[in-house]
Chains A and B, each alone.
Chain A
């Protein structure tokens, strides 16, 4: 039983363990100074010694990332609702949304920083802005995903399936149909939201893990900088895992 567990763990996580091992080996073999490249152990120690500091910074980053994600989702969803009733709006927004999806927006965070100024609020704005468009596209395509049979059924009970007069159809059929799409959007966007928050913190330099990463480096505290990076990665993986679990759990219901 235990042996089986270990084997399962091994087949799943050997790659990650290997990565850690290589890191430790490279540092040990080259006899690198901690200022150049800290070993896994040094990074872990830095994390533990400054646990409280890192916890606060991590909480800040998590809060802005999830706040931005929630806001972007809400706004994207609301705009998609409006678009559904007024196709003109979708004609205007969809090209912009797809354009934004095909360009490396994260790299242009500096522009938003420039427009809205330095400060924590900008981090939130940036995260919201970047999650807004994908949420909008996913939600809208979810609303339009209702099968013909379901539409026919709705029309047969005297319910319009288009425009304002179709609001009951929207409320009871189109909106619930979009749930799997929204779950996918969340799963894809959760790590992105965190990345964007980190990038904004990195550039603005107010607080949060992104800032710690760059600040510690300029102070020559490599272990601290790497610790922040590692913590950020762990957070990102956690975000991903949480939302893919959520997706797994609720998607089943939608498969008839």
Chain B
């Protein structure tokens, strides 16, 4: 099957739990029983207070951690198999670019690491997609924070993954850049809707980008609320001022506060 014809993948998360053994013999449950079905090409945003197990869930989806219980399947495959077929792309808050490589070479790095011939056209295409074709030869330190994240996203997409995993990719950016990047990400995603799971702290960002927003409650992490976002696409930055958006924002913020409250109280 040619890479171009790769479709998107639905994801099934079944009764997934994750327990970490501590050195003193005790253990803590980071994720406790999560069930979620994600349709192919769907954009899911995961919000929740710090330490609620969002990132752990994400790492399990990315095959970086094993669930202690339950099953994750991506189009019928385990995350590990999915990784082997280069069907997974990840971008994190820390961009993790290689400082000694130019932007272009950073984007091309997945090909090299996967042992595939470098598809120069694909690399150029992605640099164009993230609007950094003029910075192809720049080193990461010569780029701004937003540019680095764009390169990081381009890198995560270069192997045409069927699932894109984003962990707070804009967490380190200032508010204005962050909004611009949200708009960028929507544009990139809508060109070829890839099944995407985004972890974020920003409720605004979650509503703006996602088809469904999942709210996780802490200790152990569970899905407390799943809110479908039925705003019309493409969403514009002005959409954020509309009443329907603001209503959703108010509702989700209140829900988030509620799951956070026990924490504040203790």
| B-binding residues in A (CB < 8 A) | 147, 149-150, 152-159, 168-169, 172-173, 176, 179, 252-256
Known: A156-B83, A156-B88, A256-B97. A168 touches B141 (CB 8 A): no
Q: Find out whether the CB atom of B112 lies under 8 angstroms from the CB atom of A255.
A: no
Q: Find out whether the CB atom of B99 lies under 8 angstroms from the CB atom of A255.
A: yes
Q: Which residues of A contact B88 (CB under 8 A)?
A: 156-157
- Chain A interface helix/strand/loop/mixed: helix
From 80 to 108 in chain B, residues with beta carbon under 8 angstroms from any chain A beta carbon are 83-86, 88-90, 92, 94-101
Partner of B62 from the list A152, A159, A173, A176 (CB cut-off 8 Å) is A152
Knowing that A153-B96, A159-B114 touch, tell me 5 more A-B residue pairs with CB under 8 angstroms: A149-B95, A156-B62, A176-B98, A252-B141, A256-B97
For the complex formed, measure the closest distance between the CB of A104 and the CB atoms of chain B, giving whole angstroms: 36
Q: How far is the CA of A155 from the CA of B59 in the complex (A)?
A: 11
Is B110 an interface residue when CB atoms closer than 8 A count as contact? yes
Produce 1/0 per residue, B107-123, CB < 8 A to A.
Answer: 00110111100000000
Known: A168-B113, A255-B141. A155 touches B98 (CB 8 A): no
Q: How far is the CA of A224 from the CA of B104 in the complex (A)?
A: 58
Partner of A156 from the list B85, B89, B99, B141 (CB cut-off 8 Å) is B89
For the complex formed, measure the closest distance between the CB of B173 and the CB atoms of chain A, giving whole angstroms: 16
Q: Which residues of A contact B64 (CB under 8 A)?
A: 152, 155-156
Q: Find out whether the CB atom of A157 lies under 8 angstroms from the CB atom of B83.
A: yes
Partner of B113 from the list A157, A254, A255 (CB cut-off 8 Å) is A157
Q: Find out whether the CB atom of B100 lies under 8 angstroms from the CB atom of A176.
A: yes
Partner of A179 from the list B96, B100, B109, B156 (CB cut-off 8 Å) is B100
For the complex formed, measure the closest distance between the CB of A120 and the CB atoms of chain B, giving whole angstroms: 38
Is B159 an interface residue when CB atoms closer than 8 A count as contact? yes
Q: Find out whether the CB atom of B92 lies under 8 angstroms from the CB atom of A149.
A: yes
Is B260 an interface residue when CB atoms closer than 8 A count as contact? no
Q: Which residues of A contact B193 (CB under 8 A)?
A: none
Q: How far is the CA of A154 from the CA of B85 in the complex (A)?
A: 14
Q: Find out whether the CB atom of B99 lies under 8 angstroms from the CB atom of A172.
A: no
Q: Which residues of B contact A155 (CB under 8 A)?
A: 63-64, 83
Q: How far is the CA of A176 from the CA of B112 in the complex (A)?
A: 14
